[in-house]
Chain A
């Protein structure tokens, strides 16, 4: 089983729709979680951190479910500009260092 798994998509959704992605992780000792956004031919950039209590930033909501070992990203009122690949990142302490593992990414295409 992969350490971090995402559905690669693509998710094709109309403008204004609500879309949700999940990211599962295998190691229960994982400590911190993030969502990154990567535009085509660009580098990943942090979208938001994922806190135990969940967090919201405008149209974006991130949640963590430790019991089931997954994080989620919800995008409301999708815009064309939301089209991108969304990567989850999982941090874990390993041998005194923070080991980071990325998912393969979920591609979102918002269509007019």
Chain B
């Protein structure tokens, strides 16, 4: 069964802390994505990556950075967490091969910044 896992389901951090959210997929997918989901705003793309060591900004990259050192792992970093980064964070992966482009999502990390 295909799987995308995220390091934590719930996380509570304080303003100014550095936060790492980890995502691992076991499907050998080339593409990986980080979204945040907020009520009324839907899923918004933060960053994505189409290959190892490659990253592209999404629609709301400010305050975030990413790292993809290995194909299966895509990390989201909040350099200095702020209260407006309290949200549900969803990681996803996909592969263009076969023409599907279906996105497989992890279970999400609900981050609260106090």
Contact = CB atoms under 8 A, between A and B. Distances in A.
Interface stretch (A12-20, A38-46, A57-65, A72-80): A38-46
A111 interface: no
B101 A91 contact: yes
B42 A100 contact: no
A72 to B, nearest CB: 18
B64 interface: no
A61 to B, nearest CB: 19
A100 B45 contact: yes
Given A43-B108, A97-B56, A100-B33, A87 B43 contact: yes
A50 B105 CA distance: 19
Contacts of A26: none
Given A97-B50, A97-B56, A98-B101, A104 B42 contact: yes
Given A43-B90, A97-B50, A97-B56, A102 B42 contact: yes
Given A32-B101, A43-B90, 8 more contacts: A8-B40, A43-B106, A44-B43, A49-B102, A87-B42, A97-B48, A102-B42, A102-B43
Interface of B: 31, 33, 35, 40-43, 45, 48, 50, 56, 90, 96, 100-103, 105-108
Interface of A: 8, 32, 34, 36, 42-46, 49, 87, 89, 91, 97-98, 100-105
